[in-house]
Amino acid sequence: MDRRTFNKLITLGSMEMTTSGLAIPVGNPSASMTEQPPKWPNQVYRRFSIDTHVPDWDPQLLGHFDPADYVGNIARAGFQSMLQYTNSHVGLCLWRTHVGQMHVNMKDRDFFGEVVKECRQHGVHPLAYFSVIFDNWNFEHHPDWRILGAEGNNARLQGRYGVVCPNSPYRDYVVACVKEIVGNYDIDGIFFDMTFWPDVCYCPHCAGRFVSEHHAEPPRVVDWDNPTWIAFQKARQGWLLEFANTVTNTVKSIRPITVNHQYSTIFHNWTLGVPLELTQACDYVGGDFYGGPAQQSLVCKAYNGLTRNHPFEFHTSRTHDPTDHVMMKPIDELRTESFVATLHSAGLLLVDYINADGTQNPQVYDAFKQLNEQRAVLEPYLGGDLLADVAIYYDKVSMYNPDENGIHITKLQAVDNCPHRDAVVGAARVLRQGHIPFGVITNANLNQIKGYRAVILPNVLELTSEQAKEFRKFVEGGGILYASGPTSMDRHHDGIPTFLLEDVLGVRYKGKAGYKKITYLTPKDLDLGKAVWPQDHVSFEGQMIQAEAMPGCEILATITLPFVDPYLGHAVGSHFAAIHSDPPALKPGSDPAVVVHSYGQGRAIWVAAPMESKDEAVNIRLILHLLRRFIAGQYWFELDSHPAVEMTLFNQTAERRLLVSLLNIQQLVPPISVGATVRVQLPTGRSPSKVVQVPGLKPLPFTKAGPYVQLKIEPFDVFTMALVEYQ
Ligand SMILES: [Zn+2]
């Protein structure tokens, strides 16, 4: 499974180092494109890199590399940092080294060193790119270092990418390279790409290590109910984290520059073996994404809570697909994507691709310049604490396909079908389009739940009793919890599957209801019925969870089965209710589909299937109805605008102001301008003093609307910002 496959699948339909905080440092108004270089990394929002995975078998390859031209283009376009390749997936070194194999066409030059010098002359922060694990040179020259998949190496030998195992002596090679690079060059940071397991490795180094640590052979059957399999997955994650920490500590032992590792693996399935705790080895998080603005927005919400320092960054390239060298995204599309970063007070690392001879297409830099100029004027106002009411809970341990349990690893067909991710992505779609202020928490930062009023547990397949305890406490204290499908089910509870949150959800697990082909949710409650009007049912492609509602619960909807088992009907003998479809039974079923239960001072909403997963307008209305109905009280903000508009709100305490940002995420570009009415809640005890547009600081009229400050936003095409000052 290639990391980039995930990036496509999740397209969504459409340092001064401290470890404490989530607060994003507020920008310095002097950091514009023309003045003094901004401080790395706090003030650097316009970041850049150029893919340079170029071998040396032909003398023309990188043969015309000219660092003055190269950095000149980058600086002219207004980039503030440059992530320059020291090596690449090809494994050849682009710096003067006594450790690795230098790129032959570099001759007696030092490409990396020349770029670092040029960057310093242009006031661009130079950073080093280093590809780990993906290293063709070492793959070729050290067969005993190779990652060995369950099916051997044939597929790797037929493909282009050679991968080596971080449990092999390759680890020492990386450490030696890092010492040279960090010791010899004047860089501000280093990024390690590809810190993950591209294959499940069964090489002698891994197998031997697992045997010595767990006294068992590494298992080859993927079985989430088997303790040895789970131990193996945990070992893979632990080994990777140990490797990342070794690399990071090597850098830090030489100089206190920033270090981060590829973190686009965050929403990937289990195979890459990357725990969310990789953040321990990263001063800030960052990774590349190609799924468009909706995907990047969800990633930013997750990164915002996970990063140890701000700003975090996301990377995207100038082409839709990193395997295409020339086909450029329309500039309007790139503009929307780059404003996703601004919307979250994040850095954007744009990626270009070097021509085979080491030159660039200079016209591309004219286009980048336009984007950078538009974002630069907003940067002095970025930062603060993201204000949100609802958290989506993302659980990395649930990132597997439950339909492929007990399958030999070589027989997996749909390893990336992760229903938990579909539900997380769906929940984000509901909240974004419904203009509900939201963030993301994960199994690695569950303690952040206390900053929210409600939490969504979308189809969470794995939950520990400690995590269940946290959620119980949350509801007890007045929080609202939404849980869908099998969330909180303990499959091994005294041999009987049980909901760990049974007492909170008010439902007892019984089994599965309905059919894999289709099952229906039927509103019983009048208001829920209005939410799905004019439909009388909502279909779900799959089985639902059958449960018994405990006394005191309110049942808002029930499960209705099709008129007849969908698998019985055939051409001869009929035995279906309609030839094209499987219409619902004539009478609604009695098993609960939506249950509301009061617990402590809070409430839980349980839905028998992850209805949030499906990208249908009626599903969005259904979930929005439930959330709005039960999350009482004021939200941090309200937004009256088109569903394509996403808003964020940051509190900048020291500056006594709220930062309001709106992004128009229309799929067809150029986007049609839209206006908006925004209502924001000020921190307790504060009153509004002034509202101004950003940039320009032109005063905007505002009114008081109940507990909110209300302002009108004039029609804008892609992005707009305002500051609400308070006293
Ligand atoms: Zn290995």
| pLDDT, tens only, 368-389 | 999 999 999 999 999 999 999 9
pLDDT reported for residue 280: 97
**Assigned domain for 288 exists:** yes
List, for residues 546-590, the tens digit of each pLDDT value. Answer: 999 999 999 999 999 999 999 999 999 999 999 999 999 999 999
Distance 167 CA to ligand 1 centre (A): 5
Q: Give residue 268 CA to ligand 1 midpoint distance, Å.
A: 20
Torsion of CA 467, 470, 472, 474, to 10 degrees: -140
Bridge-partner residues for 319, per DSSP?
A: 328
In this structure, of 111-120, 374-383, 472-481, 489-498, the range with the lowest mean pLDDT score is 489-498
pLDDT of residue 698: 96
In a domain, 2, yes or no: no
Residues 605 and 702 reside in one and the same domain: no
Q: What's the pLDDT tens digit per position in 408-444?
A: 999 999 999 999 999 999 999 999 999 999 999 999 9
Residues within 5 Å of ion ligand 1 by Cβ?
165, 167, 201, 203, 205-206
Q: What pLDDT score does 68 carry?
A: 98
519 close to 561: Cβ distance less than 8 angstroms: yes
Q: Quick check: helix, strand or coil at residue 141?
A: helix
- Please report whether residue 4 resides in a domain: no
Say if 153 falls within a structural domain: yes
- How far is the centre of ligand 1, averaged over its atoms, from the C-alpha of 191 (Å)? 23
CA-nearest of 474, 460, 467, 500 to 604 is 474
Neighbour count for residue 239 (Cβ, 10 Å): 22
Task: Indicate if 298 and 406 belong to the same structural domain.
Answer: no
Q: Is the pLDDT of residue 142 over 90?
A: yes
Mean pLDDT, residues 620-626 taken together: 98
Cα–ligand 1 centroid distance for 254 (angstroms): 28
**Do residues 600 and 666 share a domain?**
no
Instruction: Assign residue 216 the CATH number of its domain.
Output: 3.20.20.80
pLDDT for the residue 645: 98
Residue 10 placed within a domain: no
Residue 536 to residue 58: CA distance in whole angstroms: 67
Q: How many separate domains does the chain show?
A: 3
- C-alpha 2 – ligand 1 centre gap (Å): 18
Region of 459 (left: φ > 0; alpha: ψ -120 to 50; beta: rest) is left
Expressed in angstroms and rounded, the spacing between residue 149 Cα and the centre of ligand 1 is 9
Checking if the pLDDT of 193 tops 90, the result is yes
Distance 212 CA to ligand 1 centre (A): 14
**Three-class SS state of 595:** strand
pLDDT band at 494 (very low <50, low <70, confident <90, very high): confident
User: 366 with 499, same domain?
Assistant: no
Residues 288 and 365 in one domain: yes
Residue 309 sits at the vertex; the CA angle it makes with 393 and 256, to the nearest 5 degrees, is 140
Q: Quick one: 104 and 205 in the same domain?
A: yes
Same domain for 349 and 419, yes or no, is: no
DSSP string, 369-388: HHHHHHHHTTGGG--BEEP-
CA of 166 to the centre of ligand 1 (A): 7
Residue 597, CB half-sphere, CA atoms under 13 Å: how many?
Answer: 27
| 385-386, strands of its sheet edge to edge | 385-386, 645-652, 657-664, 719-726, 688-694
**Interior/surface letters 291-309, b for 16+ CB within 10 angstroms, e for the rest:** bbbbbbbbbbbbbbbbbbb
Residue pair 48/74 in contact by the 8 Å Cβ criterion: yes
90 with 163: CB under 8 angstroms? no
631 and 662 Cβ atoms separated by less than 8 Å: no
Mean residue pLDDT of the chain comes to: 94
Residue 120 clears pLDDT 70, i.e. is over it: yes
Q: How far is the CA of 171 from the centre of ligand 1 (A)?
A: 11
Residue 158 confidence (pLDDT): 94
Boundary of a domain, candidates 613, 630, 647: 630
Q: Is the pLDDT of residue 23 over 60?
A: no
Q: Which residues pair with 680 in a beta bridge?
A: 637, 709
Do residue 315 and residue 183 come from a single domain? yes
> Do residues 60 and 190 both lie within one domain?
yes
CA of 162 to the centre of ligand 1 (A): 13
Q: How far is the CA of 213 from the centre of ligand 1 (A)?
A: 14
- % the chain with pLDDT above 90: 92
Ligand 1 centroid vs 84 CA: distance in angstroms? 29
Give the per-residue pLDDT at 26.
60
Relative orientation angle of helices 111-122 and 67-76, to the nearest 10 degrees = 40
In a domain, 665, yes or no: yes
Q: CB-based contacts of 691: which residues, under 8 Å, 6+ apart? A: 699, 700, 701, 702, 709, 711, 722, 723, 724, 725
Q: Give the Å distance between the CA of 147 and the centre of ligand 1.
A: 5
Q: Are 142 and 158 in contact (CB under 8 A)?
A: no
As a whole number, mean pLDDT of residues 74-101 equals 98
Question: 3-class secondary structure for 530-572?
Answer: HHHCCCCCEEECCCEEEEEECCCCEEEEEEECECCCCCCCECC
Q: What is the mean pLDDT of residues 11-39?
A: 47
* Alpha helices for 631-670 (secondary structure H): none
Distance 9 CA to ligand 1 centre (A): 27
Q: From residue 218, how far is each of 103, 147, 203, 228, 682 by CA, in Å?
A: 38, 14, 10, 8, 55
Query: 3-state DSSP call for residue 633?
Result: coil
Tell me, yes or no, whether 623 and 684 share the same domain: no
Confidence tier at 11 by pLDDT (50, 70, 90): very low
Q: Give the CATH number for residue 491.
A: 3.40.50.880
**Separation of CA 202 and ligand 1 centre (Å):** 6
Same domain, 613 and 646: no
- Residue-range definition of the domain harbouring residue 652: 637-726
Domain boundary among 350, 382, 414: 382
In the prediction, which pLDDT does 19 show? 32
**606, 630, 654 - which closes a domain:** 630
Structural domain includes residue 554 = yes
For residues 568 and 573, give the distance between their C-alpha atoms in angstroms, rounded to a whole number: 9
Strands (E), 617-673: 637-640, 645-652, 657-664
Cis peptide, bond prior to residue 643, ω within 30 of zero: no
Q: How confident is the model at residue 37, as a pLDDT?
A: 80
For residue 238, report the distance from its CA to the centre of ligand 1, in Å.
Answer: 13
Instruction: Supply the CATH number for residue 643's domain.
Output: 2.60.40.1180
pLDDT score for 153: 85
- Residue-level pLDDT at 495: 78
410 CA distance to ligand 1 centroid (A)? 17
Please check whether residue 415 lies inside any domain of the structure: yes
Please check whether residues 329 and 372 belong to one and the same domain. yes
